[in-house]
């Protein structure tokens, strides 16, 4: 990343020497409907200034989803306690921002359980495929249907994790 105006000028000079457009000309051509002064200002921002704290709409929606999930009583429920690796003995909460599939595999590793079993069923014409995925793990089972195997696996693991969290919430209420 460019940290000052001199680096920007050096790059512009190298581009001109190579017979290419300058950064400003490229930005004008690539984004004719935008004001390039903002883009040029971003290029010359020092690295120490960091990224503006304006949350992207996707991030804001993710935070709203977490609040909604917390309202359903599944947030802040113990997922497991680490027994291997760095942070051994540390309680681990389920992270709604990460892949459910990855977290289920991590749970299996930490608890020394067999990996989850996935069953896939594909249906529909080639251009309208639909996948149904069933995951079986730790005595629980969940199914989801989506347009791709990846989405269906993630959805099935989301459902599975919700069942696991409900079970953990009940178990840890009994111990308290």
114 secondary structure, DSSP code:
P
**Residue 157: CB atoms within 10 Å:** 25
Query: Do residue 149 and residue 107 come from a single domain?
Result: yes
Helix, strand, coil tally for the chain in percent (to 5): 50, 15, 35
Q: What is the pLDDT of residues 54-91, one digit of tens each?
A: 444 444 444 455 445 545 555 556 788 888 888 888 88
148 secondary structure, DSSP code:
S
Q: Which helix (H) or strand (E) holds 172?
A: helix 149-175
Query: Do residue 37 and residue 85 come from a single domain?
Result: no
- For 152, the domain range is 74-175
Is 69 part of a structural domain of the chain? Answer: no
Query: Do residue 80 and residue 135 come from a single domain?
Result: yes
Calculate the alpha carbon distances from 157 to 72, 142, 148 in Å.
18, 7, 14
Is 82 part of a structural domain of the chain? Answer: yes
The pTM of the full predicted model, rounded to 2 decimals, is 0.55
The rounded distance, in Å, linking the Cα atoms of 95 and 139 is 22
- For the four alpha carbons of 8, 14, 16 and 22, in that order, the dihedral sign comes to negative
Q: What is the pLDDT of residues 8-38, one digit of tens each?
A: 677 777 777 777 766 667 666 666 655 545 5
Q: What's the total number of domains in the chain?
A: 2
Query: Do residue 82 and residue 165 come from a single domain?
Result: yes
Query: Do residue 15 and residue 82 come from a single domain?
Result: no
The reported pLDDT for the residue numbered 103 is: 93
Query: Do residue 80 and residue 131 come from a single domain?
Result: yes
Among the listed residues 105, 99, 166, the one whose alpha carbon sits nearest the alpha carbon of residue 137? 105
Give the total residue count for the chain: 176
Query: Do residue 155 and residue 79 come from a single domain?
Result: yes
161: CATH: 3.30.160.20
- What backbone torsions phi and psi does residue 17 show, to the nearest 5 degrees? -65, -30
């Amino acid at each position: 990343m460019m940290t000052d105006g001199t680096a920007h000028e050096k790059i512009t000079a190298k581009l001109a020497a190579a017979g290419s457009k300058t950064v400003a000309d490229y930005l004008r051509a690539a984004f004719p409907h935008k004001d390039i002064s903002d883009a040029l200002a971003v290029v010359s921002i020092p690295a120490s200034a960091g990224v503006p704290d304006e949350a992207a709409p996707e991030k804001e929606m993710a935070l709203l989803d977490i609040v909604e999930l917390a309202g359903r009583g599944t947030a802040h429920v113990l997922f497991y306690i680490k027994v291997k690796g760095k942070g051994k003995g540390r309680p681990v909460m389920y992270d709604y921002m990460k892949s459910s599939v990855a977290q289920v595999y991590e749970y299996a590793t930490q608890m020394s359980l067999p990996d989850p079993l996935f069953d896939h069923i594909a249906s529909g014409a080639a251009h309208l495929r639909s996948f149904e995925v069933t995951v079986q793990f730790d005595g629980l089972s969940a199914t989801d249907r989506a347009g791709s195997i990846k989405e269906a696996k993630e959805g099935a693991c989301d459902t599975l994790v919700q069942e696991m969290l409900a079970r953990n919430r009940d178990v840890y209420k009994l111990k308290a």
